[in-house]
């Protein structure tokens, strides 16, 4: 006969876990709403600045800014945007799988690399890797600010220009929907013209394109990095919300199965007690 007390203890334990996962899902949903709001509000600025920059870079007479030219033939840098906490499904695993593939390609080509993990999970995963180099003391917050993006951008620009690195690539998770996120590699430096996405707007630059490039490019790079932070955190909250929702449903399914098992055990116990009573009555009748 099943242990009724043990089953009840398991039901209480799983019920407590389900309350935690349900609360975590609600918290993740609230954080997701916040980063989605920031993402939507930054979209017009991001698109407009990107359009202006693409026109500048597509102009064959534009000024050759240092961020547009390859600084050296040396190190390739990969910046990995991971989460600070777990319980977000395969969010970090997908990032690390793509990072390992990138590393394998660089190693096969004999190119030196540097890994720059952002987020505690990336630091834990690549902390012992010989190519790892820490660039910030703390990882991105749950709702990144533009100032965080600016600080990270200044660090990466300094790295690219002063240390003559060959390239800087961002590895983060792109947000498509609450149930779909995709790990992606995005080249940051050197910046390249994207002539296939020019808008029909005609721009007149005053006083000249050279001075505009000097002012626009640093702002454009900041928007690219800030966008990566927002995409990464929005995807993380969505992944955690989905994971906690799945965990809550699994807990409810287990409680339902255990409740059926408990009812059967109670019926067996009652049946056995009745049989013992009937047997005792029959024994008394024979005496």
Per the CB < 8 A criterion, the answer to whether 96 and 86 are in contact is no
- The mean pLDDT value of the chain amounts to 85
Query: Each residue of 196-209: pLDDT tens digit?
Result: 445 556 667 677 66
- The DSSP bridge partners found for residue 114 are 77
Task: Look at residue 255 and tell me if it is in a domain.
Answer: no
Per the CB < 8 A criterion, the answer to whether 195 and 105 are in contact is no
Task: Look at residue 247 and tell me if it is in a domain.
Answer: no
Number of other CB atoms surrounding residue 141 within 10 Å = 11
pLDDT attached to residue 195 = 47
Number of other CB atoms surrounding residue 118 within 10 Å = 26
- The DSSP bridge partners found for residue 116 are 79
Q: Measure the CA–CA gap between 287 and 281, rounded to whole angstroms.
A: 10
Per the CB < 8 A criterion, the answer to whether 154 and 218 are in contact is no
Per the CB < 8 A criterion, the answer to whether 116 and 135 are in contact is yes
Least confident piece of the model among 19-33, 37-51, 123-137, 175-189: 123-137
CATH number at residue 56: 3.40.1380.10
Residues 195, 198, 202: CA angle, nearest 5 degrees: 125
Task: Look at residue 264 and tell me if it is in a domain.
Answer: no
Instruction: Read off the pLDDT of each residue in 223-245 and give the average, rounded to a whole number.
Output: 94
Sole residue written with tokens 């049946």: 271
Task: Look at residue 256 and tell me if it is in a domain.
Answer: no
pLDDT attached to residue 232 = 94
pLDDT attached to residue 63 = 62
Strands 167-177 and 76-81: parallel
pLDDT attached to residue 196 = 46
Task: Look at residue 125 and tell me if it is in a domain.
Answer: yes
- On the CB side of 55, CA atoms within 13 Å amount to 15
Return the sign of the alpha-carbon dihedral for residues 119, 53, 187, 39. Answer: positive
Least confident piece of the model among 9-13, 204-208, 247-251: 204-208
pLDDT attached to residue 249 = 94
Closest residue by Cα to residue 44 from 32, 35, 52: 52
Task: Look at residue 75 and tell me if it is in a domain.
Answer: yes
Q: Is 278 exposed, middle or buried (0-12, 13-18, 19+ CB in 10 A)?
A: exposed
Q: Measure the CA–CA gap between 181 and 81, rounded to whole angstroms.
A: 14
pLDDT > 70 in the chain, percent? 90
Task: Look at residue 5 and tell me if it is in a domain.
Answer: no
List the structure tokens of 170: 């961002």
In which band, very low, low, confident or very high, does the pLDDT at 5 lie, cut at 50, 70 and 90? confident
Euclidean distance between the first and final Cα of the chain, in Å?
Answer: 31
The domain total for the chain is: 1
Helix and strand numbers (H, E) in the chain are 5, 4
Give me the domain span that covers residue 93: 25-194+201-242
41 vs 35, 115, 147, 230, CA distance in Å? 10, 31, 16, 11
Task: Look at residue 268 and tell me if it is in a domain.
Answer: no
């Amino acid at each position: 006969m099943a242990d009724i007390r043990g089953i009840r203890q398991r039901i209480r334990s799983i019920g407590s876990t389900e309350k935690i996962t349900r609360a975590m899902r609600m918290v993740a949903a609230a954080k997701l709403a916040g980063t989605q709001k920031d993402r939507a509000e930054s979209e017009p600025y991001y698109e407009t600045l990107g359009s202006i920059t693409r026109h500048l870079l597509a102009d064959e007479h534009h000024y050759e800014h240092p961020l547009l030219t390859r600084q050296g033939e040396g190190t390739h840098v990969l910046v990995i945007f991971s989460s600070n906490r777990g319980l977000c499904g395969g969010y970090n695993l997908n990032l690390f799988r793509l990072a390992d593939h990138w590393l394998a390609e660089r190693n096969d080509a004999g190119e030196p690399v540097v890994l720059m993990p952002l987020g505690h999970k990336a630091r834990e995963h690549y902390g012992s890797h010989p190519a790892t180099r820490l660039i910030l003391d703390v990882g991105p917050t749950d709702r990144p600010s533009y100032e965080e993006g600016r600080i990270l951008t200044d660090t990466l620009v300094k790295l690219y220009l002063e240390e003559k690195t060959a390239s800087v690539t961002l590895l983060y998770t792109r947000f498509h929907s609450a149930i779909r996120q995709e790990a992606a590699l995005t080249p940051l430096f050197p910046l390249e013209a994207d002539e296939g996405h020019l808008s029909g707007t005609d721009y007149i630059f005053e006083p000249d394109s050279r001075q505009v490039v000097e002012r626009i490019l640093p702002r454009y790079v900041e928007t690219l990095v800030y966008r990566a932070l927002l995409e990464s955190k929005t995807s993380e909250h969505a992944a955690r919300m989905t994971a906690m929702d799945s965990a809550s449903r699994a807990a409810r399914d287990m409680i339902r199965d255990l409740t059926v098992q408990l009812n059967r055990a109670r019926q067996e116990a009652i049946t056995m007690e009745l049989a013992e009573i009937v047997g005792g009555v029959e024994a008394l009748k024979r005496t």
